[in-house]
């Protein structure tokens, strides 16, 4: 092990300094702050030199794994490559140096970008209008459900307090529904992974606000009976919510608006190639059909008759969901992605993502258990190794992949199988990378028989080895200060 491979966080030495703040041109005299808000003692900050800080973060970043360093087949997360031109556009001074409280007349170009992105997403999904204000997919879900609740409220239809969520749904769906104050009713999947219409039928009555669906669902399968489901839900007065976090396979091919969905969210940080991981920043725009446009959150960007963009707030809105207008840097990146591909090329992303997923699935299904053997969309799920006699678990396979330089797939999700391994390669990977991954997955299946101990104790060559996840969860160390950590 090299010296810098050790994780040393306590670097502070009294008196060391790496930076001094410039003299502010504004009034910073102490009496600018009211008495009670002023600090009485200096803040306890680490005292480190510039070189210490640079080395600390550079070495930390070398221990990290990102889509720029290697293949990242994390199912349901769409870790596609983020083209560098997105970054270039987001760092243009005209975008990054503005202030959210500037008068509208001085940020017309910014509002135009917001408006154009809204129009592009509407065209791509078949919805009438969008809000780009939510900061994440889960917040998009909450916003969409607030829109649905507001819609029923405005019609005086107050009985509708239940929302139907399939058992295969992403965990955020029931969580968002609960935060929105709706009661979650679960609908079962059939053995082929799709919603069981016969289980759905008896749930539909005048207390149903709507249904949340993911299509393709979290098993990567397209809900082929979606038209029938839409009709049943609409006939009972409910609305259809579409979780479009993983919109990749449908890009330019099929539109949720045409399938009958009333509300949806997209994850710009997945499908529209903006960086994510580590918790943000993201963007979860929400699109709605025309009859719900008045319920979208405040404020909305509209184009006035005078050709000027304005911020509109309305009484019928479901309220505000963000301080300003969302994560604008993410919006710039997504808009750049859409414009650089263009209408003609964006429709190639979906089929390529589907082809790549099916290529891996077919190449590995003789060593890994494929519980639902059919053509998948952008991702698919194995249920561990085919040969269960070796005692090798999905966790062992995932940890061993790290030794070979690949990020692990999503594991133990969805909950429908005990040893789930969910793989999503995305369209941005080359055949050579996919072949390399397939070769390693096959080698791990051989190791499971020949040398199971090697897998149980993996990973062997990462900066930290297999972690004690229970202790990490029960006894988290949340400060760099050794003296404050519980031993």
Ligand X SMILES: *Cc1c(COP(=O)(O)O)cnc(C)c1O
Which residues of the chain form contacts with ligand X (CB under 6 A)?
76, 136-138, 170, 172, 214, 218, 243, 245-246, 267, 282, 284
Q: Is 108 helix (H, G, I), strand (E, B) or coil?
A: helix
CB atoms within 10 A of CB 395: 19
SS3 content of the chain, % helix, strand, coil (to 5): 40, 10, 50
- Cβ–Cβ < 8 Å for 169, 218: yes
Looking at the Cβ atoms of 138 and 332, the one nearer to ligand X is: 138
Looking at the Cβ atoms of 237 and 284, the one nearer to ligand X is: 284
Looking at the Cβ atoms of 129 and 246, the one nearer to ligand X is: 246
Looking at the Cβ atoms of 72 and 404, the one nearer to ligand X is: 72
Q: Is 423 helix (H, G, I), strand (E, B) or coil?
A: strand
Looking at the Cβ atoms of 393 and 426, the one nearer to ligand X is: 426
Position of minimal CB gap to ligand X: 137
Looking at the Cβ atoms of 245 and 251, the one nearer to ligand X is: 245
CA dist., res. 172 & res. 147, Å (int) = 17
> Dmax of the chain from CA atoms?
74
Task: Encode 449-463: b = buried (16+ Cβ within 10 Å), e = exposed.
Answer: eeeeeebbebbeeee
Give me the least distance between CB of 268 and ligand X, in Å please. 9
Looking at the Cβ atoms of 271 and 393, the one nearer to ligand X is: 271
Give me the least distance between CB of 426 and ligand X, in Å please. 13
Task: Return the bridge partners of 207, or none.
Answer: none
Among 324, 215, 321, 337, which Cα is nearest to 270's?
Answer: 337
Give me the least distance between CB of 270 and ligand X, in Å please. 6
- Cβ–Cβ < 8 Å for 431, 440: no
Give me the least distance between CB of 155 and ligand X, in Å please. 28
Among 228, 221, 236, 227, which Cα is nearest to 190's?
Answer: 221
CA dist., res. 423 & res. 354, Å (int) = 12
Give me the least distance between CB of 170 and ligand X, in Å please. 4
Among 265, 264, 148, 167, which Cα is nearest to 208's?
Answer: 148
Query: What is the DSSP pairing of strand 286-288 with strand 129-131?
Result: antiparallel
Give me the least distance between CB of 143 and ligand X, in Å please. 11
Helix (H) or strand (E) holding 359: helix 328-364
Looking at the Cβ atoms of 238 and 244, the one nearer to ligand X is: 244
Three-state DSSP string of 173-189: HHHHHHHCCCEEEEECE
Give me the least distance between CB of 316 and ligand X, in Å please. 26
Looking at the Cβ atoms of 111 and 325, the one nearer to ligand X is: 325
Looking at the Cβ atoms of 141 and 396, the one nearer to ligand X is: 141
Secondary structure letter of residue 288 according to DSSP: E
Which residue matches tokens 């909450």? 142
Give me the least distance between CB of 171 and ligand X, in Å please. 8
CA dist., res. 471 & res. 477, Å (int) = 10
Task: Return the bridge partners of 263, or none.
Answer: 241, 288
Give me the least distance between CB of 253 and ligand X, in Å please. 18
Give me the least distance between CB of 274 and ligand X, in Å please. 11
Q: Is the backbone peptide bond immediately before 39 cis, with ω within 30 degrees of 0?
A: no
């Amino acid at each position: 092990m090299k010296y810098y491979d050790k994780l040393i966080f306590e670097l502070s030495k009294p008196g060391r300094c790496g930076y001094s703040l410039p003299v502010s041109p504004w009034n910073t005299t102490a009496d600018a702050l009211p008495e009670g808000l002023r600090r009485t003692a200096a803040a306890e900050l680490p005292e480190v030199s510039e070189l210490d800080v640079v080395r600390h973060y550079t070495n930390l970043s070398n221990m990290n794994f990102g889509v720029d360093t290697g293949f990242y087949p994390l199912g349901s997360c769409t870790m596609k490559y983020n083209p560098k031109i997105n970054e270039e556009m987001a760092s243009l001074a005209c975008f990054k140096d503005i202030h959210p409280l500037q008068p509208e007349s001085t940020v017309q170009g910014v509002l135009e970008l917001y408006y154009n992105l809204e129009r592009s997403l509407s065209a791509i999904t078949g919805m009438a209008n969008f809000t780009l204000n939510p900061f994440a997919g889960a917040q998009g879900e909450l916003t969409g459900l607030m829109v649905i609740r507001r819609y029923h409220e405005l019609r005086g239809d107050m009985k509708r307090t239940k929302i139907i969520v399939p058992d295969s749904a992403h965990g955020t769906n029931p969580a968002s529904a609960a935060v929105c104050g709706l009661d979650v009713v679960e609908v079962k999947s059939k053995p082929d992974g799709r919603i069981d219409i016969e289980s759905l039928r008896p749930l539909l009555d005048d207390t149903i606000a709507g249904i949340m669906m993911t299509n393709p669902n979290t098993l990567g399968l397209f809900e082929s009976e979606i038209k029938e489901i839409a009709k049943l839900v609409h006939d009972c007065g409910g609305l259809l919510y579409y979780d479009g976090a993983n919109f990749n396979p449908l890009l330019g091919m099929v539109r949720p608006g045409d399938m009958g969905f009333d509300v949806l969210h997209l994850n710009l940080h997945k499908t529209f190639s903006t960086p994510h991981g580590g918790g943000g920043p993201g963007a979860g725009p929400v699109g709605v059909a025309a009859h719900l446009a008045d319920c979208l959150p405040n404020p909305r960007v509209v184009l006035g008759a005078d050709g000027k963009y304005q911020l509109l707030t309305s009484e019928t809105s479901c309220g505000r969901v963000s301080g300003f207008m969302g994560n604008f840097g993410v919006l710039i990146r997504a808009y750049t992605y859409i414009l650089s591909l263009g209408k003609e090329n964006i429709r190639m992303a979906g089929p390529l993502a589907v082809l790549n997923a099916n290529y891996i699935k077919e190449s590995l299904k003789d060593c890994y258990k494929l519980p639902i053997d059919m053509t998948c969309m952008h991702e698919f799920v194995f249920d561990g190794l085919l040969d269960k006699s070796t005692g090798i678990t999905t966790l062992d396979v995932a940890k061993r992949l790290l030794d070979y330089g690949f990020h692990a797939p999503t594991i133990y999700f969805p909950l429908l199988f005990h040893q789930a391994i969910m793989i999503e390669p995305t369209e941005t990977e080359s055949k050579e990378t996919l072949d390399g991954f397939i070769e390693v997955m096959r080698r791990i299946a051989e190791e499971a028989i020949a040398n199971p101990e090697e897998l149980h104790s993996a990973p062997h060559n990462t900066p930290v080895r297999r972690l004690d996840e229970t202790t990490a969860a029960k006894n988290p160390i949340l400060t760099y200060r050794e003296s404050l950590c519980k031993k």
